[in-house]
Structure 1
């Protein structure tokens, strides 16, 4: 089974799409696919579909959705017959267990698992000072994203939370990849990307600090200081707070106009005061 959730939902068995078009069965499959090879409880699936006040028919209706998914899986399995390997049944792919269900991937691929594997390698490379390797691994991880997680799935409480969690992991990987590229001297190449990112996440201080560094190292000192001032104005006006210690340190270094600003975790607020994006 091949599973993709980092963008549009796409689940394939034997290369055949088993993603339903109906919204609620699609929600069920999305949650099972995200947690492939792990049990998802009936309670969790029910809350996802109907919130905290499900109808009396919720359990029976959920069973109907599971049967519909198994029909799609059975059709995909039939197309794969005659390949010489052992043939699974639909019930062995979408398995009923005590208290819930799980999707048996059969050792197939999952873009979430691959993303986690690549980011782990990328972070390890950063810690080891291998910025070239870190940039490469993290870029490959980020390339797995084709849009927001579950982009074409109606979300309930659980999918919404999972999508937010995944987006945070994506932003963390993006921060570290940009940091690696800055350490490799790719500041000019980063300017266009960072211009878009600071517009998209106007109060994200890690990205703002990286943008300031890229501007400064590209000979655009006044613009680097201006972007700091714009952020400070936004933070003070809208949130009543000053920029983080790390970001203020970068501003002071730029004001001092030294020959080089050393990139450290202060670019993202090494005092632990980096604010999350609000957009």
Structure 2
């Protein structure tokens, strides 16, 4: 089972630098980059969701790259947890099938008929019927002792695996939630930078033309689509098991 320290480390260690927007970067965005696209002719109407200026498209590309790097690093951390969860998901059906078979065997062995319980061998003819019946019950219990022990061991194993699975899923949820938080923080940072650029552009646009500037129609910067979807590491596809393996190795 994965050591809990991996979970604690995932909670403590950020995968990206603090998302501050320092003064020098704001000055660079506003007074260096912001002068480049001030001319309306250098911007264009948004096409197919693209940003309407070269500087904004650069920021959009940087945001996408940083989010994909975050996703890659988080997936690398989650990979052993995903693999272990997959092993458990594939092992559980085989173990449950064994449990069902043992329960059926025990149930069949426990349903002794009166004829069987009252059966008297030649050496037991001198015994009272109650003594013979008790002997038959002890013999039946002895025959079922091994299956019952196997059943208890299997049920304990399934319980342990279910507990490990729940813990793994909790860790994977924490990792993905942290990843989504970082992606949203990155989108917020780049939206702030884009706002600085646009304000700088529009300050240099003649007043009569400001309302018609293509930058007024730009799309807000947003985190990638996967950040608003279900956790892909816990997707229903991962739950689908195409039959149990021949022998569980968990």
Query: Which TM-score applies when normalising by structure 1?
Result: 0.26
Bigger RCO of structures 1 and 2 (CA < 8 A, at least 6 apart): 2
Larger radius of gyration: 2
Q: Name whichever structure is richer in strand by fraction.
A: 1
Query: Which TM-score applies when normalising by structure 2?
Result: 0.29
Q: Name whichever structure is richer in helix by fraction.
A: 2
